[in-house]
Amino acid sequence: MQPTRVLTGITTSGTPHLGNYVGAIRPALASSRAPGTESFYFLADYHALVKCQEPARVQRSTLEIAAAWLACGLEPDRVWFYRQSDIPEIPELTWLLTCVAGKGLLNRAHAYKAAVDRNRETGEDDDAGISAGLFMYPVLMAADILLFNAHKVPVGRDQVQHIEMARDFAQRFNHLYGGPAGKGYFTLPEAVIEEQVATLPGLDGRKMSKSYDNTIALFAPPETLRKLVYSIVTDSREPGQAKDADSSSVFQLYGAFAGAGETAAMRQAFSDGIAWGDAKQALFERIDAEVAPLRERYEALVARPAVIEAQLRDGAQRLRDRYATPLLRELREVVGLRDLGRAPQPAAAATAKADKAPTPAFKQYREADGRFHFKLVRGERVLLHGAGFESARDAGQRIAALRRDGYAGPDARLVPGEGVGADEVAAALAALAAAAAEKAAGKAGPA
């Protein structure tokens, strides 16, 4: 059986903290040991450039994050471990995907939209200070994922939209260019959201995050670790007064590092009125017990960066030989970046004559209430219903936007048909786009 490919990218723009360890590193390494998985871990240093333009910091962060994952038990012989910028096929694929990606879909990416909204609030031009890198971020991320045909991508909630976009680009590419036995070139990846993985509170009680500046560095020296733990915000209850475990960051952090028995005992100690100082001391000791051996390995690794450099390069080289280089060779062929000496071949999709499914169509109509509606249908099946537009023009514009930008999920005016998922709609829109492209290329009929 083909193993499940699980792929995770880590942006190299910060220092690993306890939240990264509990929320990402520890669970990822545990699941990489599950049988039947092929795991890919990479340092997303191209992505780091979008946010961070301090070269020394990008370099340092890449070293620290690589050393942290290795120190925590990543085995480069059993999983793929590499650096994004060592794989030139990633930017190459990014361009191929850029050419099928709907600009309108990218306009709706959360991070880009949030930046535009901030500009509007302050009365700036929409795109003031926004780089094309921020705008293209989702396409680069799609290339990371699609290059290795990952099945599963464990991510936080904020990244789910990016995985959906990767599916959309993959689908458009597959439809435009067909693929072996009509199956397409790219696997459609799925986001895996680890619900049960704790998000750790930081020093101030909000989620531990670099952007809140409330983190505890994973490999801080013990004295610093102790000071940071003692600086966690608590309420002002005195020793002997009962304390509420569930609303306490100290307790939540403790639970992330202690076993069930110890955690239950700590809960009891809270209701018995443990002093904050004692609770924090116990927390410090518990974290340090788990982290100390890792810290020792981490320090040894960071002291020998050339070893890590060699490991990363080796991982990238093997990965390119095995997957990236052959796939890009094929994709270049597929899109027409070809040896000029050979006879021209149409796209597989054009010859295979789009799989049996009927060509989808938009149908516009007017109801008795005088409003304008449309449907996206494929054969007998109604995929989407666009409801209640003021004018035929409004309805037409909405259809044009769907064709151009793709489907971003239901909204007040757009209702999916019975049992119709976003993928089915995306596939239909991709088929429409492919049919339109074929027509535009003047392939009116078979020669």
Which residue stretch of 97-105, 138-146, 387-395, 407-415 sits at the interface with ligand TRP (rule: CB under 6 A)? 138-146
Q: What are phi and psi of 86, to 5 degrees?
A: -90, 0
Q: Which is nearer to ligand TRP, 153 or 188 (CB)?
A: 153
Which residue stretch of 31-39, 141-149, 233-241, 257-265 sits at the interface with ligand TRP (rule: CB under 6 A)? 141-149
Neighbours of 118 (CB within 10 A): 13
Q: Which is nearer to ligand TRP, 83 or 385 (CB)?
A: 83
Q: How far apart are CA 242 and CA 48, in angstroms?
A: 45
Q: Does 170 bind ligand TRP (CB under 6 A)?
A: no
Contact between 50 and 111 (Cβ < 8 Å): no
Which residue stretch of 139-147, 174-182, 297-305, 345-353 sits at the interface with ligand TRP (rule: CB under 6 A)? 139-147
Contact between 200 and 207 (Cβ < 8 Å): yes
Tell me the site size for ligand TRP, rule CB under 6 A.
12
Neighbours of 203 (CB within 10 A): 17
Residue with the closest Cβ to ligand TRP?
9
Give residues with Cβ within 8 angstroms of 217, minimum separation 6. Answer: 15, 16, 17, 18, 224, 228
3-state secondary structure of 318: helix
Residue from 70, 90, 141, 399 touching ligand TRP (CB under 6 A): that is 141
Q: Which is nearer to ligand TRP, 189 or 416 (CB)?
A: 189
Span 367-426, contacts to ligand TRP by CB under 6 A:
none
Q: How far apart are CA 92 and CA 328, in angstroms?
A: 8
Least distance (Å) between residue 298 CB and ligand TRP: 21
Q: How far apart are CA 285 and CA 94, in angstroms?
A: 46
Least distance (Å) between residue 7 CB and ligand TRP: 6
Least distance (Å) between residue 142 CB and ligand TRP: 8
DSSP string of 356-398, one letter each residue = SSPPPEEEEEE-TTS-EEEEEEETTEEEEEEEEESSHHHHHHH
Q: Which is nearer to ligand TRP, 157 or 304 (CB)?
A: 157
Give residues with Cβ within 8 angstroms of 394, minimum separation 6. Answer: 372
Residue from 144, 164, 168, 405 touching ligand TRP (CB under 6 A): that is 144
Q: How far apart are CA 433 and CA 439, in angstroms?
A: 10
Residue from 159, 214, 248, 249 touching ligand TRP (CB under 6 A): that is 159
Q: How far apart are CA 55 and CA 329, in angstroms?
A: 32
Largest CA distance in the chain: 89
Span 47-76, contacts to ligand TRP by CB under 6 A:
47
Binding mask 218-247 for ligand TRP (x = CB under 6 A): ------------------------------
Q: Which is nearer to ligand TRP, 144 or 168 (CB)?
A: 144
User: For tokens 């002997």, what's the residue?
Assistant: 240
Q: Which is nearer to ligand TRP, 144 or 164 (CB)?
A: 144
Least distance (Å) between residue 152 CB and ligand TRP: 10
Give start and end residues of each alpha helix (H) in 204-259.
Answer: 222-230, 249-257
Binding mask 4-33 for ligand TRP (x = CB under 6 A): ---xxx-x----------------------
Q: What are phi and psi of 361, to 5 degrees?
A: -150, 150
Q: Does 155 bind ligand TRP (CB under 6 A)?
A: yes
Residue from 72, 139, 145, 220 touching ligand TRP (CB under 6 A): that is 145
Helix 276-302 / helix 305-319 crossing angle, nearest 10 deg: 70
Least distance (Å) between residue 206 CB and ligand TRP: 18
Binding mask 33-52 for ligand TRP (x = CB under 6 A): -----------x--x-----
Select from 142, 139, 146, 138 the least CA-distant residue to 186: 146
Structure tokens at 138: 């989702």
Q: How far apart are CA 140 and CA 121, in angstroms?
A: 28
Least distance (Å) between residue 43 CB and ligand TRP: 9
Least distance (Å) between residue 150 CB and ligand TRP: 8
Least distance (Å) between residue 143 CB and ligand TRP: 9
Residues 116, 154, 284, CA angle at the centre, nearest 5°? 95
Which residue stretch of 90-98, 153-161, 193-201, 394-402 sits at the interface with ligand TRP (rule: CB under 6 A)? 153-161
Applying CB under 6 A, the residues found at the interface with ligand TRP are 7-9, 11, 44, 47, 141, 144-145, 153, 155, 159
